[in-house]
């Protein structure tokens, strides 16, 4: 907290210094409404979350430590500031190493059955911003198209239009891939991956740390494409889901800051449907059933009884004592009636 206050005071001083260029006195001054209004955090969040406009990015004038080595505060010439993550530090973390390679579209190899029923993905916060990769009406949606799976959505464009990274992340693939043409795949800190296909040129290399809004390539029509468009995919654990769950491409806004990815979205027949309450019900029901099964298993486990063999014990005597049968005791313990009962051995008897 102290560090934060120090940093805040420092920002104020710098900002004041920026307004009164000659004022180098950095002793904290009482906060007034006028002073507080000098500094604006960018972006200010509202719902839906607006896309960054990268072209209007003002020049940064200074960088300040925050006490967290992964995050710095950058001050801009227009008296705004924002948190900026240290890409070098972040990109060395495990989630950018595990299931990581620069060639396969799905490096995870996860069984569908092993995926969780729901996953919470933090898309934006004070340190993570969003930029619409390309703003236009979706002309070919996610899902089945002439009985072929279409794993993303298509946005028509003009060849050479800049394509922006949707979120901060590390470039996992940047190469020509059959079908996709020039493809860039970015992995984000929440595990989400975004795919940008059919590019006329790629502007980033494997391993690059990119920030939301950065131009990662130019629109084109390379690969299996009938005209210039961006093929955009969102994938989690290698499974694609409809990007329209996250982004309203026509307005260029992010629908939510925190997204609940449900397992059923990870199927090609699951298209974005605005406000469907039934799904909540289904998921809750499935969770109830899971809980009931877990409780049943726990109860069974708790009901188990064990007997430590003492001198003179026989399977017949144990069966009578614990109100069961010799056959059942043999089955539970994987033994036969001819097995020698060693003294001290534990047998399940109920």
Binding mask of the shown chain, residues 286 to 305, with x at each position contacting Zn ion by CB under 5 A: --------------------
* Near Zn ion in 154-173, by CB under 5 A: 154
Of 178 and 323, the one with the shorter C-beta distance to Zn ion is 178
Instruction: Please report how close the Cβ of residue 91 comes to Zn ion at its closest, in angstroms.
Output: 28
Instruction: Please report how close the Cβ of residue 110 comes to Zn ion at its closest, in angstroms.
Output: 23
CB atoms within 10 A of CB 350: 13
Q: b/e string for 60-87 if b means 16 or more Cβ within 10 A?
A: ebbeeebeeeebbbebbeebbbbbbbeb
Of 124 and 220, the one with the shorter C-beta distance to Zn ion is 220
Phi-psi region for residue 35, left (φ > 0), alpha (ψ -120 to 50) or beta? alpha
Of 65 and 250, the one with the shorter C-beta distance to Zn ion is 250
Of 72 and 231, the one with the shorter C-beta distance to Zn ion is 231
Instruction: Please report how close the Cβ of residue 229 comes to Zn ion at its closest, in angstroms.
Output: 7
Per-state percent for the chain, helix, strand, coil, to nearest 5:
25, 30, 50
* Near Zn ion in 125-154, by CB under 5 A: 154
What residue number has its CB nearest to Zn ion?
A: 231
Contact residues for 38 (Cβ-Cβ < 8 A; gap 6+): 12, 15, 16, 19, 79
Binding mask of the shown chain, residues 22 to 61, with x at each position contacting Zn ion by CB under 5 A: ----------------------------------------
Count residues contacting Zn ion (CB under 5 A)? 2
Contact residues for 65 (Cβ-Cβ < 8 A; gap 6+): 7, 72, 73
The answer to the question of residue 231 lying near Zn ion (CB under 5 A) is yes
Of 81 and 142, the one with the shorter C-beta distance to Zn ion is 142
Three-state secondary structure call for residue 80: strand
Instruction: Please report how close the Cβ of residue 152 comes to Zn ion at its closest, in angstroms.
Output: 5
Helix ranges (DSSP H) in the chain: 2-19, 33-36, 87-90, 277-303, 315-321, 326-333
Helices (H) and strands (E) in the chain, counts: 6, 22
Q: What is the DSSP letter of 16?
A: H
Tokens 């996860």 found at? 110
Tokens 């934060």 found at? 4
Instruction: Please report how close the Cβ of residue 75 comes to Zn ion at its closest, in angstroms.
Output: 41
Of 154 and 168, the one with the shorter C-beta distance to Zn ion is 154
Of 240 and 329, the one with the shorter C-beta distance to Zn ion is 240
The span from the CA of 131 to the CA of 123, in Å, is 11
Binding mask of the shown chain, residues 170 to 199, with x at each position contacting Zn ion by CB under 5 A: ------------------------------
The span from the CA of 35 to the CA of 30, in Å, is 9
Residue range at the interface with Zn ion (CB under 5 A); choices 69-77, 227-235, 260-268, 308-316: 227-235
Length of the chain: 350
Burial classification of residue 302, based on how many CB atoms lie within 10 Å of its CB (0-12 exposed, 13-18 middle, 19 or more buried): exposed
Bridge partners, residue 71, by sequence: 85
Instruction: Please report how close the Cβ of residue 226 comes to Zn ion at its closest, in angstroms.
Output: 10
Instruction: Please report how close the Cβ of residue 11 comes to Zn ion at its closest, in angstroms.
Output: 44
* Near Zn ion in 254-293, by CB under 5 A: none
Of 224 and 296, the one with the shorter C-beta distance to Zn ion is 224
Of 148 and 342, the one with the shorter C-beta distance to Zn ion is 148
Instruction: Please report how close the Cβ of residue 268 comes to Zn ion at its closest, in angstroms.
Output: 13
Task: Give phi and psi for 327, each to the nearest 5.
Answer: -60, -45
Instruction: Please report how close the Cβ of residue 146 comes to Zn ion at its closest, in angstroms.
Output: 13
Site residues for Zn ion per CB under 5 A: 154, 231
């Amino acid at each position: 907290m102290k560090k934060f206050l120090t940093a805040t005071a420092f920002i104020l001083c710098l900002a004041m210094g920026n307004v009164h260029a000659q004022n180098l006195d950095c002793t904290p001054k009482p906060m007034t409404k006028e002073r507080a209004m000098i500094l604006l955090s960018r972006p200010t969040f509202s719902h839906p979350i607006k896309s960054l406009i990268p072209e209007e990015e003002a020049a940064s004038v200074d960088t300040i430590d925050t006490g967290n080595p992964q995050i710095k505060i950058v001050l801009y010439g227009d008296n705004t500031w924002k948190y900026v993550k240290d890409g070098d530090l972040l990109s060395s973390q495990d989630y950018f190493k595990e299931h990581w390679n620069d060639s396969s579209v799905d490096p995870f190899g996860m069984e569908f059955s092993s995926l969780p029923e729901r996953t919470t993905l933090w898309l934006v916060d004070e340190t993570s911003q969003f930029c619409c990769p390309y703003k236009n009406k979706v002309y070919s949606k996610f899902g089945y198209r002439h009985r072929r799976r279409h794993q993303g959505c298509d946005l028509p464009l003009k060849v050479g239009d800049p394509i922006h990274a949707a979120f901060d992340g590390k470039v996992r693939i940047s190469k020509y891939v059959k079908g996709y043409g020039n493809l860039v795949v970015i992995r984000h800190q929440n595990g989400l991956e975004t795919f940008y296909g059919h590019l006329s040129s790629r502007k980033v290399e494997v391993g690059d740390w990119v920030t939301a809004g950065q131009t990662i390539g130019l629109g084109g029509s390379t690969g299996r494409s009938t005209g210039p468009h961006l093929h955009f995919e969102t994938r989690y654990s290698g499974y694609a889901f409809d990007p329209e769950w996250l982004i309203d491409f026509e307005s260029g806004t992010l629908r939510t800051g925190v997204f609940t990815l449900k397992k059923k979205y990870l199927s090609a027949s699951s298209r974005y449907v605005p406000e469907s309450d039934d799904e909540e019900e289904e998921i809750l029901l499935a969770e109830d059933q899971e809980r009931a099964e877990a409780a049943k298993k726990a109860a069974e486990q708790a009901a188990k009884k064990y007997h430590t063999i003492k001198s003179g014990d026989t399977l017949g005597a144990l069966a009578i004592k614990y109100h069961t049968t010799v056959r059942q005791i043999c089955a539970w313990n994987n033994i036969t009636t001819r097995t020698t009962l060693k003294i001290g051995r534990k047998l399940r008897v109920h």
